[in-house]
Structure formats: structure tokens, C-alpha cells
Amino acid sequence: EGVAPYWFETTGALFLSDEGEFSARFEGSYDARLTQRFILQPSAEINVSVEDVPELGLGAGLTDIELGLSLRYDITRTFAPYVGVSYETKLGDTADYARADGEDVSDTRLVFGVRARF
């Protein structure tokens, strides 16, 4: 977890199951200040699997991508309500597994909540 050049927040995680299945997740976001209190935050999450895991519906390679955009209002530095939109899509063999199970391959959601720091 850290900050990349130009103040991009980044996070990475590696996963290894007890059966030797290896996968990874990479996330990034950026706070674009519109004013002192309004912050527009684009974000992206990419999941990768090294091998096919049919019982989990995962194909090898890029499994899914989620893109988001939210608008936050900082009432204080520790309390900020937000509203946004999120788009998620499954890719490659993962999408094929989802279609075979009758699931949707992509999804768009309206999100809202409160960001609180303690």
C-alpha cells in the first residue's frame, strides 16, 4: 500500500490458497480536489489469477475489472458522505464461467455512503 507518483493511492495483495492456487489484486485511486471540500475520486481494481479454478469460477489471466467514480463532501477530515457509480466486468474464461452459470458478466451500481476515520 502506498502513494505512486502524482499522488495516486495504490494497493496490492497476493493470495495463495491451501491448494496452491495463486491470485493477485491491484487497486488504485486518485483524489481530485474540485474545491476544499468536494473531492472527485476515480478508482480502479484489477484481479488476476495464475491458473484456472473452475470451482470458484475463475479463469487464468485477468479475471475482472472494477471502475468507479465517486464525489465526496468533506464535512470534516474524519467524516465525509459520498455518492458514486461503479462498473464491474468479468473477463476471459471467468466471463465464460459466469455465462455458463447464468450470471451477468457486467454490472453497474449506484453507491453511496459515509467515509469515517477514527
Interval 87-110: pLDDT, tens: 999 999 999 999 999 999 999 999
Query: Is the pLDDT confidence value at 35 over 90?
Result: yes
Quick one: pLDDT band at residue 54, thresholds 50, 70, 90?
confident
H helices, E strands: number in the chain: 1, 8
Quick one: pLDDT band at residue 1, thresholds 50, 70, 90?
confident
Grid cell locating 78: 474524519
Long-range contacts of 48-54 (CB under 8 A, 24+ apart): 48/23, 48/24, 49/21, 49/22, 49/23, 49/94, 50/21, 50/22, 50/23, 51/21, 51/22, 52/93, 53/21, 54/97
The confidence score (pLDDT) of residue 7 equals 84
Mean pLDDT of the chain: 93
